[in-house]
Structure 1
Amino acid sequence: MATEQKIQRRLIVHLGVQKTGSTGLQRHLRMNSDALAGRLVPLTPEKGSPMRPLGRAAVAYSLSPTEQTARALEEALQEVLSELPRNDLPVLLSHENLAGAMPGNSGETALYPALPQIAWMVMRTARDFDVEFVIYTRDMATWRPSVWAQAVRTDGYTGTLPEFLQATDALPAWDDLTDRIARVIGAQNITCFRLEDEPRDGHPGRLLLRHAGLSDGDIDALTPLDGTANPRLNAGATEFLRRLNQSALNPHARGKVVDLVARAQHLFTADAPSEGTL
């Protein structure tokens, strides 16, 4: 008699990438956690959760792919999976930093060179799950300036936008990234969505949620997100932080300043100061 094959639990890994609407999607998931209960287990990088160390481990591995950083990444993912509720509901794990360091972070100028290997390690570590990956892309002409502003804000990047665009001028199209991933884990395990195809109706990540099994009616019933999540700072505020990054400020103190600037952007709407002043 043939034995029945056990159906593995579905694990949908949303890799981001940065500046493609991940923050809005994650906020939307957290807002609707009660409504999603019974249909989906969402995992997002909430403060104090093991998802935060997972993102840091992926970035660390991408910047220095060693046996030690690989082991740390796998252990961080094991910690996340160990805390899952004991049921058969599909899991949606969303963390843009799983893609690794974005251009502008610690000298990175390539298009997520470590992501194929990160995806392979995720599949190996989560071998008891039916793992699939989802990635969002965004038109390069708008994505690169947005990434530059984020790198200035979060990663201490000191270059100007023209300097960043020149440093990343050789970035390939998104197809290059998805092809590299597919060669490692198989094309059937990676799905790519364009941010431009997302309806702007207060329900970010609709394409991903459909992929996870929710109907349009299910999604429409969720509480919509009010406003834009993680919006780009205005030009004056970004320029202030870029010049601040050139100083030897303690990282903790710098983080406090960034928070203050983000809350008081109206103070930076005048023309940017001349070169040589802050």
Structure 2
Amino acid sequence: MSAKVILHIGQQKSGTTHLQRILGHCSDGLADAGILFPASLREALPDTIENHERATYGLLGTEYPWVTAERAAEERPRWDALAEKVRAWPGTALISAEALSVIRTDAIRTLVTEFDADTVEVVVTTRPLGRSLPSLWQQHVRNGRVSALGAFFAWLARQREAGAKAVEEEQDLHLWRSFALGRLVRRWASVVGPERVTVVVNPGRPHDLLWERFRVAIGADGVTVADEVHAARTHESLTLPQAQVMVRLNEAFETAGWDTYAARAVREAIVLRGTVPGPRPGVPESAWRLVESWTEEDLADLRATGARIIGDVAELRFSPERDLHGPITHEQIAEAAAAALLAVADRDRFAPPVPEVPAQRRRVLRVRR
């Protein structure tokens, strides 16, 4: 029976995948320190970045709006295997799945009561809204969405205006269940207690600061990681010109009736081979005051929860100098479009044909040989 289970629940776009990559690299060191980071995906795919989201589908199923009952049934054996490893470990077990940040209170109770642990603790990693929301938009675009940046923030505003009660109860309003930080902490604290919730602030720089704070949160102070692991990029994010091009490309895929998987393959090829320098997406001018007000509301709510905070809450404040996106030029968009085209072009298809040697000439060559 585990003495403690730590649930690392995100938020989304707060550095969770980066941390999961580090945890996979130092899983042996963690085990020596008494902390189990159990294998789940790595059992079938040893080189993948470990996370436990798919396993939680087997327990929580359609609580996630994107998971069907059939998918949940497929993943149930994965959850059972993971839960058995956690129960069998005598020390601390760490489960990391950022999708847990969107689940509602009843699902939280289901998850917490699944473990025969003396203590269940929760760790929330968080990042300024001015950084995480534009990053979420480019991820949506990379996944096939067609909303321009301004329209995306208008959609966020409409969802938030639905009110806290609706966000907590309506399944499809899951985005603000994750990103409204104070409410997120309060929801989990209502089940495990505020003294068992830790918030880790990720300001983004320096690159190793998130791990330094996270390992304090999980009680792994002595576990170290090589500098190259910290420095490695986990995701290739779209620049703003790339994202603008991909929005139009996604629209074109829909109009032309492209298959979902074929369109995804094209987008991934562009991300992998068509990257060009450019400004990152930021908060549009039209949403500046909104994001600032959302941030201050969430931070005030967070302070009132009684949760432990590692880092400075002020690092989460909206900063126009850092968070607003700069202007982009037609030249930058054209360069991104050209790079995207080259990334998916089949060079062999357009290569000039090899001249055919006439039959008489071939005979002469054979005689000479």
Common fold: TM-score over 0.5: yes
User: Does residue 333 of structure 2 align to residue 272 of structure 1?
Assistant: yes
CA-CA distance at 1:258 after TM superposition: 2.6
1:266 counterpart SS class: coil
In structure 2, the partner of 1:22 is 16
Deviations 1:162-195 (CA, angstroms, capped at 9, x unpaired): 1111111235842122123323443233222221
In structure 2, the partner of 1:151 is 140
User: Does residue 36 of structure 2 align to residue 41 of structure 1?
Assistant: yes
Quick check: 1:77–1:122 contact (8 Å CA) kept in 2? no
Quick check: 2:8–2:124 contact (8 Å CA) kept in 1? yes
Q: In 2, distance between residues paired with 1:95 and 1:181?
A: 14
1:93 counterpart SS class: strand
Q: In 2, distance between residues paired with 1:240 and 1:153?
A: 11
In structure 2, the partner of 1:102 is none
The amino acid that maps onto 1:51 is: H
In structure 2, the partner of 1:119 is 108
Deviations 1:201-232 (CA, angstroms, capped at 9, x unpaired): 536432221122122xx24x322322332242
The amino acid that maps onto 2:225 is: L
Uncovered stretches (5+) of structure 1, i.e. residues with no partner? 1-6, 100-111
1:144 counterpart SS class: helix
User: Does residue 220 of structure 2 align to residue 214 of structure 1?
Assistant: yes
The amino acid that maps onto 1:230 is: H
The amino acid that maps onto 1:208 is: F
Quick check: 2:125–2:200 contact (8 Å CA) kept in 1? yes
The amino acid that maps onto 1:166 is: A
- Equivalenced residue count is 250
* Correspondent of 1:263 among 245, 258, 272: 272
1:37 counterpart SS class: helix
Uncovered stretches (5+) of structure 2, i.e. residues with no partner? 46-50, 161-175, 279-330, 335-340, 342-369
Q: In 1, distance between residues paired with 2:266 and 2:155?
A: 27
Residue range with higher mean Cα deviation, 49-58 or 183-192: 49-58
Q: In 2, distance between residues paired with 1:184 and 1:115?
A: 11
In structure 1, the partner of 2:98 is 96
In structure 1, the partner of 2:196 is 189
Calculate the TM-score normalised by the size of structure 1: 0.74
Deviations 1:104-158 (CA, angstroms, capped at 9, x unpaired): xxxxxxxx3x34333222102124452211111221122211111112223x322
The amino acid that maps onto 1:124 is: T
Calculate the TM-score normalised by the size of structure 2: 0.57
- Taking structure 1 as reference, are residues 256 and 69 closer, same or farther at Cα in structure 2, changes over 3 Å only? closer
Residue range with higher mean Cα deviation, 49-58 or 135-144: 49-58
Q: Which has the larger radius of gyration?
A: 2
1:158 counterpart SS class: coil
Q: In 2, distance between residues paired with 1:151 and 1:139?
A: 18
Deviations 1:218-271 (CA, angstroms, capped at 9, x unpaired): 24x322322332242112332333233332432322332232111123368653
Residue range with higher mean Cα deviation, 259-268 or 206-215: 259-268
In structure 1, the partner of 2:234 is 229
User: Does residue 245 of structure 2 align to residue 245 of structure 1?
Assistant: no
- Taking structure 1 as reference, are residues 258 and 264 closer, same or farther at Cα in structure 2, changes over 3 Å only? same
CA-CA distance at 1:55 after TM superposition: 5.2
In structure 2, the partner of 1:54 is 55
* Correspondent of 2:128 among 139, 146, 158: 139
Quick check: 1:32–1:222 contact (8 Å CA) kept in 2? yes
Q: In 1, distance between residues paired with 2:231 and 2:12?
A: 21
The amino acid that maps onto 1:54 is: A
The amino acid that maps onto 2:218 is: A
Higher normalized helix content (fraction of residues): 2
1:63 counterpart SS class: coil
2:119 counterpart SS class: strand
In structure 1, the partner of 2:151 is 163
Deviations 1:80-114 (CA, angstroms, capped at 9, x unpaired): 21245944131111121222xxxxxxxxxxxx3x3
Q: In 2, distance between residues paired with 1:35 and 1:149?
A: 35
CA-CA distance at 1:44 after TM superposition: 6.8
Residue range with higher mean Cα deviation, 59-68 or 136-145: 59-68
CA-CA distance at 1:159 after TM superposition: 0.6
CA-CA distance at 1:33 after TM superposition: 2.6
